[in-house]
Structure 1
Amino acid sequence: MPDDAALDALIAKEALRDLATRYARAIDRRDQDLLRSVYHDDAIDDHGVVFCDSAALFIAQQPEIMAPFAITAHYLCNQSYRIDGDKADGELYFIAYHRTDAPGSSHSIVSGRYLDNYEKREGNWKITHRRLVWDSFITLPAAPEDMAQLAALGVMGSAADDRSYDALPLMRRGQ
């Protein structure tokens, strides 16, 4: 039988994993309320030269930052967490796909790591400081025949009008 400390660590790690997936969903669905739920009010987001300021400003600028992209998909890979009471650190590997529309459609794939500091306040884990390490970047033209094949497959992903809102009623915007 696990001791209380081991159980608390397991619960905290699961809460941090949930936080990570909510961030990815919020970015890809352009859901500012959900994005706000992953940061403490005084948090800092450091995306390097792309953005480095308060998380509140990062959230407010999302419509402008994401405007060039028809679709994005953020994938989380390896996740390592260390917990010390109500503070935690995490290193999360990511791959992020970005597609722009015609004219000049392109696919951009970036990878790197989120270096996160977290705090549990009022019973909720949230990010206090996020720093990015960029490991790779590649851009390729989006061939018209590839886009036609993608459209032929059926429903494609999108942002605020994504099919997931109809298919997953328990995962409404902001939640």
Structure 2
Amino acid sequence: MSDRNAALNALLDREALRDLAMRYARAIDRRDQDLLRSVYHDDAIDDHGLVFCDRAALFVAQLPQLMAPFAITAHHLTNQSYRIEGDRADGELYFIAYHRTDGPDEKHLIALGRYLDNYERRGGDWKIAHRRLVWDSFITLDAGADDMAQLAALGVMGSAAGDRSYEALPLMGPGQ
């Protein structure tokens, strides 16, 4: 029975880490500083390479400035591998991050890479203690003059704090 309990606990820990990863992606794309703050320990480090490398609390505080050039972003997490030992865990998460720049010379920017995360469970909650990024690929494409109009023609567009998800998914409001 103890093997089964250990397996169930391992599954619960992995699911908590996956939920943490999904909250990070949602927080970045919604520009939700409260939600983003919730994925990091207070003393966590975030190393995005030359983009940002410092305390995660400063990364959260600078989110509006870091995201200001982008009209739309969409962070997709694909392969996720975790190793858990007690209250510590390591994770490698592959990402595809789409960014559409705002302004007169609009571009589609697509970055591919990996989050290399060290997690700690403190007070029963898993959070990121240290995040490092590995950049694997970067693609820049010119945006067409009518791209946004075509997107709008498909229906409701969304990104950032005004995203439709806040209305449609009340249990997932800001900071949730």
Q: TM-score range by the shorter chain?
A: over 0.9
CA RMSD of aligned residues (A): 1.0
1:32-51 pair list within 5 angstroms: 32-51=33-52
Structure 2 equivalent of residue 172 of structure 1: 173
Deviation, structure 1 residue 102: 3.4
Runs of 4+ residues deviating >6 angstroms: none
One-letter identity of the residue aligned with 1:90? G
Q: Say if 2:86 is the partner of 1:85.
A: yes
In 1, distance between residues paired with 2:70 and 2:147? 17
State the alpha-carbon separation in 2 of the partners of residues 79 and 126 from structure 1: 16
Q: Deviations over 1:88-136 (max 9, x none)?
A: 0000000000001231111000000000000000010000000000000
- Separation of aligned partners in 2, 1:129 and 1:83: 15
* Runs of 5+ unmatched residues, structure 2: none
CA positional deviation for 1:147:
2.4
User: Is 1:66 paired with 2:97?
Assistant: no
Residue 112 (str. 1) matches residue 113 (str. 2): yes
Match of 1:29 in 2: 30
67-76 or 139-148, which moves further after superposition?
139-148
Q: What corresponds to 2:163 in structure 1?
A: 162
The total of aligned residue pairs comes to 175
The runs of 5 or more residues in structure 1 that have no matched partner are: none
Residue of structure 2 equivalent to 1:101:
102
Match in the other structure for 1:140: 141
TM-score scaled by structure 2? Answer: 0.97
| Separation in structure 1 between the aligned mates of residue 148 and residue 171 of structure 2, nearest angstrom | 31
Amino acid corresponding to residue 48 of structure 1 in structure 2: G
Who is 2:5 aligned against?
4
Alpha-carbon shift at residue 47 of structure 1 (Å): 0.3
Aligned to 1:124: 125
TM-score by length of 1: 0.98
Partner SS for 1:170: helix
Measure, in 1, the Cα distance between the counterparts of 2:87 and 2:102.
44
